[in-house]
Amino acid sequence: MLTPKPFYFLRHGETDWNRRRIIQGQTDTDLNATGLAQAAAVKPAVECLPIATICCSPLLRARRTTEIINTQQNTPVVYLPDLMEVHLGIYQGHASNGEWREPWAKGGPMPEGETFADYTARVIRGFNAALTHPDPVLIVAHGGNFWALEHYGLIAPGARVTNCALFELEPPNEKSAAESKFWSVTTLSCPEGQPLVIGEGAA
């Protein structure tokens, strides 16, 4: 299902739509001042990691985050469309806590957008494509990517995926597999203050 190779994951910095709790989906919003500061703040933590390739969503908020964290090291960057956030059709630009969310997550249609099943399958495909590149790989993408990992039972539900949170993900080894089927998710860096988390703001 997911290539059993460790990797790092970084969610993009904050945007105005995150702050206003508006669904972005594939609307190409840029980082706000807070998001720019978050990316600069997480940069030293990223620079301490032995990253060989950065695989990035082509949406602007992820690209801008990558540009900031990669100014010194010039790590090769690969843009993968399958890592983009979900296309939420007619609901992009609307409140993130709308009544559409639960029916969609249970398999309902998304007018002019992606179904939950299509989205999660695409993201897993994107992760696997990223993991074909020289490793260790850092994936810079969206909070919604964790929905896919949770949907397929790869990580335990409830991860706090804040803007510019940096994680290390490791597959279960033979010893831990007897105790848990989940990949381990270790938070390496998280913005100070009270950052928005997935479900509270648009991804």
**Catalytic option among 12, 14, 114, 142:** 12
Q: Is 197 a member of any domain? A: no
- The size of the chain, in residues, is 203
Q: Is 201 a member of any domain? A: no
Q: Is 48 a member of any domain? A: yes
Q: What is the pTM of this model?
A: 0.90
With DSSP H G I counted as helix, E B as strand and the rest as coil, what are the percentages for the chain, rounded to 5? 35, 15, 50
Which pLDDT band holds residue 175 (cuts at 50, 70, 90)?
low
Is residue 181 over pLDDT 60?
Answer: yes
Cα angle: 39, vertex 163, 188; to 5 degrees: 75
Residues 137-164 have pLDDT tens digits of 999 999 989 888 998 999 988 777 899 9
Mean pLDDT of the chain: 88
Q: Are 178 and 144 in contact (CB under 8 A)?
A: no
Q: Any idea which of 35-44, 67-76, 128-137, 191-200 has the lowest mean pLDDT?
A: 191-200
Q: Is 194 a member of any domain? A: no
- Pick the most confident of 98-102, 117-121, 193-197: 117-121
Q: Is 31 a member of any domain? A: yes
Active site residue 12: yes
pLDDT reported for residue 200: 42
CATH number at 36 reads: 3.40.50.1240
Measured distance CA(190)–CA(199) in Å, rounded: 17
Q: Is 169 a member of any domain? A: yes
Number of domains forming the structure of the chain: 1
Q: Which domain holds residue 162?
A: 7-189
**Catalytic option among 14, 85, 142, 151:** 85
